[in-house]
């Protein structure tokens, strides 16, 4: 009786061993012929996903380079023409207007985008500008007969935060006046709509 139980156990072990050897041979054949198993399919899907993500990043870099132009209100000349060149994360911008020798202004910005999205962009810029204006009426009692006021001009430097969202442009910052005639701190502000051209 005891010999019969040992003989049954050895037959069971032998069957299990043959089954494992068969699986090992089938796996070796799949690896040799290049047949993709479940693990290989999973790794291929990950590789395809990574490749698609890389392509999306490259397309995003290209689509985030564009030219934008449009009207804005604010410094340096009240109603400005704003032209911006977006080169992925770098921004070069010029704005201003010439209304005559008594009223004009120009501003140049060099910026860096902190966040580039499909419809929104956050950036910071170094700003430098020049403005010249003549008030319509003199506020200084020393010029009672001068109805055109006193011409004021000056340059300024500063920094600004910018939001560009689906064409809408907003810039706000603080600058320091460098001229002798304008000595107060300068509030840098522009708001308007820019049309994009890829």
64-197: what CATH class?
A: mainly beta
Hey, what are 35's tokens? Answer: 């047949």
64: nearest Cα among 127, 113, 111 = 113
| Whole-number Å distance between alpha carbons of 16 and 152 | 98
Of 14-18, 94-98, 129-133, where does the model show the most confidence?
94-98
Q: Would the pLDDT of 24 be above 80?
A: no
Q: Would the pLDDT of 75 be above 70?
A: yes
**How is the chain split into domains, by residue range?**
2-62, 64-197
pLDDT at 100: 83
95: nearest Cα among 121, 69, 61 = 69
Q: Would the pLDDT of 31 be above 80?
A: no
Q: Report in angstroms the alpha-carbon separations of 44 from 47, 160, 184, 193, 198.
A: 5, 46, 64, 46, 35
Residue-wise pLDDT for 138-171, tens only, equals 555 554 444 455 567 788 999 999 999 888 999 9
Of 27-41, 90-104, 128-142, 172-186, where does the model show the most confidence?
90-104
Mean pLDDT of the residues in the chain = 76
Average pLDDT value for residue range 98-120: 86
Average pLDDT value for residue range 75-84: 91
Higher pLDDT, 122 or 118: 122
pLDDT at 173: 94
Q: Would the pLDDT of 180 be above 50?
A: yes
């Amino acid at each position: 009786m005891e010999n019969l139980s040992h003989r049954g156990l050895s037959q069971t072990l032998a069957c299990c061993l043959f089954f494992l050897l068969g699986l090992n041979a089938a796996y070796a054949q799949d690896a040799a012929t290049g047949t993709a198993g479940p693990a290989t399919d999973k790794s291929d899907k990950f590789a395809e996903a990574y490749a698609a993500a890389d392509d999306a990043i490259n397309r995003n870099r290209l689509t985030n380079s564009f030219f934008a132009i449009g009207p804005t209100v604010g410094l340096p000349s009240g109603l400005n023409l704003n032209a911006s060149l977006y080169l992925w994360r770098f921004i070069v911008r010029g704005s201003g207007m010439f209304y005559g020798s008594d009223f004009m202004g120009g501003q140049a910005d060099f910026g860096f985008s902190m966040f580039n999205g499909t419809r929104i962009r956050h950036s910071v810029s170094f700003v430098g500008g020049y403005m010249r204006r003549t008030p319509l009426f003199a506020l200084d009692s020393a010029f009672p007969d001068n109805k055109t006021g006193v011409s004021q001009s000056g340059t300024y430097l500063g920094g600004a935060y910018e939001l560009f969202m689906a064409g809408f442009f907003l810039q706000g910052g603080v600058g320091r006046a460098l001229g002798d005639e304008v000595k107060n701190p300068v509030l840098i502000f522009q708001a308007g709509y820019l049309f994009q051209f890829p």
